[in-house]
Amino acid sequence: MKKPFQKSRIPEQNAFVIKELKAPFFDKNWHFHPEYQLFLVLKGRGTRFVGDDMRTFKAHDLVFSGPNLPHLWRNDQEYFEKDSQLMTHGIVVYFPENFIGRELLQKEEFEELQGLLGKASLGLEILGETNEKIRPLLINLLDQKGLEKIIGLLRILLLMARSTEVNPIVQAGYVNANKESEKDRMSRVYAFVMDHFQQAIKLEEVAGLINMSSSSFSRYFKSRMNKSFSDFLSEVRISHACKLLHKENLNISEVSYECGFNTLSNFNRQFKEKMNMTPLAYKKDFMQRFD
């Protein structure tokens, strides 16, 4: 049985922790923690969940997230196949809010850093040249020690603080309503959906996983995710459909079936609502751009 890399707490004697992750797949458990997190994907692909946002990820995906912002980098199903030879590679940094001391953080010289840390509550995606500059700095940070290591992290944070290529991931006003005790509950829901979205999923089946009635689960899920369970399931299926539509050898009907839609008309309708174009138009547009 392949095991994902498991995170550990920051030792008391350290200001922050940086880890290189090499495993068959990233941690597949939806979770949140009190530390800030900077995560760079060097190798691997799948679906990224941050707060109530969902989108695909691939190599060079770089995200900075604030304390207690739920997240999950779920690799595509092929990474979990028994005979899979696929591997993932990433670098993750964890640091507490007071990693340089609360008093120092309040000084005028740290105003830019304060602003960046405040924005991280929504999750930040780092793009473009800023992303390109930070990647080697993170790799170098793995081997740095002592004060040089602190300066290296501050240099990375300063690049993000001054960049115009840093975009919020979740909508302003998002609040994590999940409790610490609910991590396992929501993680089971995420895992079940990602493992079974290609099949018919009944609401009562998912509700039963966490010992709730269908009506209670519906209210619970929407209060935690800011969307209904049916909308969430549809987003997962449409996201997978987009990946399949990039392949020339699959037609629209085959994609619809592979993503768990019961009829082609239902697939076309939901895809257009989400993507503002039909699956066929999306496929043609992609093929033209990468021809």
Q: What domains are there in the chain, each with its CATH number?
A: 17-168 (2.60.120.10), 180-289 (1.10.10.60)
User: How large is the average pLDDT for residues 89-102?
Assistant: 90
What is the predicted pLDDT for the residue at 252? 92
Residue 2 in this model has a pLDDT that exceeds 90: no
What is the predicted pLDDT for the residue at 24? 96
Lowest mean pLDDT among 69-78, 96-105, 209-218: 96-105
What is the predicted pLDDT for the residue at 182? 77
Best CA proximity match to 90, nearest among 31, 43, 138, 36 = 43
What is the predicted pLDDT for the residue at 1? 43
Helix (H) or strand (E) holding 83: none
Beta carbons within 8 Å of 54's beta carbon, 6+ residues apart: 47, 48, 232, 235, 236, 239
37: confidence class by pLDDT, cuts 50, 70, 90: very high
What is the predicted pLDDT for the residue at 285? 83
Q: Using one digit for the tens of pLDDT, what is the confidence trace for 136-168?
A: 999 999 999 999 999 999 999 999 999 999 999
pTM recorded for the entire structure: 0.86
What is the predicted pLDDT for the residue at 102? 80
Tell me the C-alpha distance between 115 and 133, whole Å.
21
Tell me the C-alpha distance between 46 and 52, whole Å.
17
What is the predicted pLDDT for the residue at 8? 43
What angle, rounded to 10 degrees, do the helices at 229-245 and 264-275 form?
90
Question: Tokens 């021809």 identify what position?
Answer: 291
Residue 9 in this model has a pLDDT that exceeds 80: no
What angle, rounded to 10 degrees, do the helices at 229-245 and 214-225 form?
70
What is the predicted pLDDT for the residue at 99? 84
What is the predicted pLDDT for the residue at 287? 75
What is the predicted pLDDT for the residue at 4? 46
Residue 5 in this model has a pLDDT that exceeds 50: no
**The two structure tokens encoding residue 209:** 């996983």
What is the predicted pLDDT for the residue at 175? 82
Residue 104 in this model has a pLDDT that exceeds 90: no
User: How large is the average pLDDT for residues 23-44?
Assistant: 95
Give me the phi and psi of 127, to 5 degrees please. Answer: -120, 180
The percent of residues above 90 in pLDDT, for the chain, comes to 75
Burial per residue of 122-131, b for 16 or more beta-carbon CB atoms within 10 angstroms, e otherwise: bbbbbbeebb
What angle, rounded to 10 degrees, do the helices at 128-141 and 146-162 form?
170
179: confidence class by pLDDT, cuts 50, 70, 90: confident
Q: How would DSSP label each residue in 106-121?
A: TSGGGHHHHHHHHHGG
How much is the mean pLDDT over the chain?
A: 91
Q: Using one digit for the tens of pLDDT, what is the confidence trace for 225-283?
A: 889 999 999 999 999 999 898 876 788 999 999 999 989 999 999 999 999 999 999 98
